[in-house]
Amino acid sequence: MSEPASSMPYLRGSRPWLRLLLTLLGVSAVISLFTCLPCLDNPREMTVNFLLTTMYTVGLWLANGYSVDWLDKYVGWKQAPAKRLVLTLLVSLVGSLAVIMVVRLGYILYRGQNPALLFSEQYFNGYIFPLVITVICSLFMHSRSFLLGWREALVRNERLQKEMAQAETESLRQQLDPHFMFNALNALTSLVEEEPKLAVRFIRQLSQVYRYVLDARQREVVPLADELEFAKSYLFLQNIRYGEALQIELPEAAQVAANFVVPPLSLQLLLENALKHNAASVSQPMHLRISLDSPGKCLTVSNTLRPRRLGPDESLGIGLPNLTARYAHLTAEPVVIARTDAEFVVTLPVLELER
């Protein structure tokens, strides 16, 4: 889960900040009025009491607010709730005590007294009321942070579930697209008449492609080696259709670690996009390359960029966004999409299962 947005949105603009300041001043005025009723006959003492209360209120609010933002960056409620609760109490207590001591020290110096009085029994007992304000501020700020995170987690989970369903549907739809079957059968018809042995191999590869689709569509991740074998079968079928107009480079699936996984049909989507969106001919062949970096953490698919026009029903433009959404559900590592004058490149993070 991503951490909640800043718990102090009032720092983003002058108007929210002004509204908050006016609110805190109002709260400070009410507190000053009820905590120093005898001061009503002494405007000077009332002013001093109001300023002290304001410094306490604003300081404690900001200290607890910033502690929420700081903790959200390192420890989330979802990842470690017990640890977050303990750290919340400790950080809130330390920050609040620091604010109280600074305000008290300022008051002592204002009175021209000895700073050592800060630790005397007289001033030590005076910490109780500011700490009550601290508890109220802390409960509000940290409860708000928790509720924001919880609400965002619910919204994010619903959005990801919807995107995952769309992505799975789109992947299956693309692979079982009637145009793909139509082209495959046309190629098969020619092979049966001219090269029967190659036709038999074509049928086997076609059956492997569809068997993989049916087996993988219900799984969240599949072994990278299986995905590469599927890509090999899929590109064999496309190579029969395109002939020398398609030049392919593939890594060896046997060299891939067994615990490396990717979302199913990721490669199919990228390969289908490359063939669908770009023109290829014998005189200007398409170079399609799948490569794996040396640690095996990134899988890159690149193709020659030679765009062709598509009809309105040929591309819905949701393939890559769906793939990105599927990855967002599994890892924080991004899908990197790059386009140059000559190539279109997509780099997929490779996930690693714990052994």
Condensed to tens digits (0 to 9), the pLDDT of residues 41-82 reads 777 777 777 887 787 777 777 777 777 677 777 776 667 777
Tokens of 310: 């598509």
User: Which of 9-13, 237-241, 347-351 has the largest mean confidence?
Assistant: 347-351
CA angle 211, 183, 315 (to 5 degrees): 90
pLDDT for 14 beyond 50: no
User: Which pLDDT band, with edges at 50, 70 and 90, does 11 fall under?
Assistant: very low
Which comes out higher in pLDDT, residue 110 or 351?
A: 351
Q: Across the strands, what pairs with 302?
A: 289, 345
CB 251 within 8 A of CB 296: no
User: Which pLDDT band, with edges at 50, 70 and 90, does 304 fall under?
Assistant: very high
Virtual torsion, Cα 288, 294, 299, 304, nearest 10 deg: -20
CB 323 within 8 A of CB 164: no
Give kind and range of the element (H or E) at residue 13: none
CB 291 within 8 A of CB 300: yes
User: Which of 25-29, 175-179, 193-197 has the largest mean confidence?
Assistant: 193-197
User: Which pLDDT band, with edges at 50, 70 and 90, does 145 fall under?
Assistant: low
Q: What is the pLDDT of residue 347?
A: 94
pLDDT for 28 beyond 70: yes
Which comes out higher in pLDDT, residue 253 or 178?
A: 253
Distance CA 219, CA 225 (A): 15
pLDDT for 270 beyond 50: yes
| Positions of E strands within the chain | 222-223, 246-249, 260-262, 286-292, 298-304, 336-339, 343-349, 351-352
The predicted model scores a pTM of: 0.54
- Domain span(s) for CATH 3.30.565 in the chain: 178-352
Distance CA 329, CA 343 (A): 28
Q: Which of 9-18, 80-89, 199-208 has the lowest mean pLDDT?
A: 9-18
Condensed to tens digits (0 to 9), the pLDDT of residues 331-352 reads 888 999 999 999 999 999 999 8
Which comes out higher in pLDDT, residue 232 or 80?
A: 232
Q: What is the pLDDT of residue 336?
A: 93
Distance CA 20, CA 27 (A): 10
Can you say how many angstroms the Cα of residue 278 is from the centroid of all Cα atoms in its chain? 31
What's the chain's average pLDDT? 77
User: Which pLDDT band, with edges at 50, 70 and 90, does 166 fall under?
Assistant: low
Q: What is the pLDDT of residue 137?
A: 64
User: Which pLDDT band, with edges at 50, 70 and 90, does 289 fall under?
Assistant: very high
Virtual torsion, Cα 324, 325, 328, 333, nearest 10 deg: 0
Distance CA 140, CA 61 (A): 10
Distance CA 271, CA 126 (A): 72
Mean pLDDT of 243-250: 90
3-state secondary structure of 313: coil
Arch. (CATH architecture) of 178-352? 2-Layer Sandwich (3.30)
Length of the chain: 355
